[in-house]
Amino acid sequence: MKQPELLAPAGDLEKLKVAVLYGADAVYLGGRLFGLRAGAGNFSEEEMAAGVRFAHEKGVRVYITVNIFAHNSDLTVLPGYLDTVRAAGADGVIVSDPGVVELVRKFHPALPVHLSTQANTTNWSAARFWEKQGVSRIILARELSLDEIREIRERVGVELEVFVHGAMCISYSGRCLLSNYFAGRDANRGDCAQSCRWKYALVEETRPGVYLPFEEDEKGAYILSSRDLCLIRHIP
């Protein structure tokens, strides 16, 4: 059986080096634009090039996130940014938006495209569609069961990636409007305020001011945030 690739996030150059030195097969990171981790340190052009160079010296691959859902104004800047990513030597880009996929294919057709989990690929027909668009890897929706993943694997030839650790988010594969509504920070453009992790109280409509109890543990009570993924005990 083929050994899966172990892919780790790298929020800044120091974290990239730690992930590489501790055995990751690949890392993914965001630049200062077009990524969904605006709160992370992220990488300048120079740091991106240095990070890719360091990883490649150790035989580790690097994928760059370009996974926002782009607005028209983003599209004028995006081609130049893709030039930067390509010049840094990235092994692929992680993309959500079909329009961004098209631009990558147009300006850098040899650059592998990985479809982000934000694109909500939950079935084999959708996976087959993206395979036909030239996507080389699909990062499946986090809501899928093992049996669903297995069936998709049987029906498509494209590479598949799945999350094994981290937040499930309250909306499909992270596409959430709570942060934008409460804090004016658009989660779908990289600026999530983690609104689902705030401490909410449950109030029934006809009994205002009466806070109904619900379960919590020593870490708190997060009524909107799903249980985090933690599959370490299921992976040999």
pLDDT tens-place string over residues 98-152? 999 999 999 999 999 999 998 999 999 999 999 999 999 999 998 899 999 999 9
Q: Are 36 and 30 in contact (CB under 8 A)?
A: yes
Label the pairing between strands 113-115 and 137-139: parallel
Query: How far apart (Å, rounded) are the C-alpha atoms in residues 135 and 159?
Result: 9
Query: How far apart (Å, rounded) are the C-alpha atoms in residues 167 and 175?
Result: 12
DSSP E strands: which ranges in the chain?
Answer: 7-9, 26-30, 61-66, 92-95, 113-115, 137-139, 159-161, 165-166, 202-203, 211-212, 229-230
Average pLDDT over residues 60-83: 93
Query: How far apart (Å, rounded) are the C-alpha atoms in residues 171 and 224?
Result: 10
Query: How far apart (Å, rounded) are the C-alpha atoms in residues 80 and 202?
Result: 48
Q: Which of 68, 69, 41, 36 is nearest to 192 (CA)?
A: 36
- Domains of the chain in start order, with CATH, are 7-166 (3.20.20.60), 171-236 (no CATH)
The predicted pLDDT at position 142 comes to 87
Grade residue 212 by pLDDT with cuts at 50, 70 and 90: confident
The predicted pLDDT at position 84 comes to 94
- Whole-structure pTM value: 0.83
Label the pairing between strands 7-9 and 113-115: unpaired
pLDDT of residue 174 exceeding 90, the answer is no
Tell me the three state secondary structure of residue 123: coil
Strand partners, 165: 230
Residue the block writes with tokens 């996976």: 127
The predicted pLDDT at position 234 comes to 85
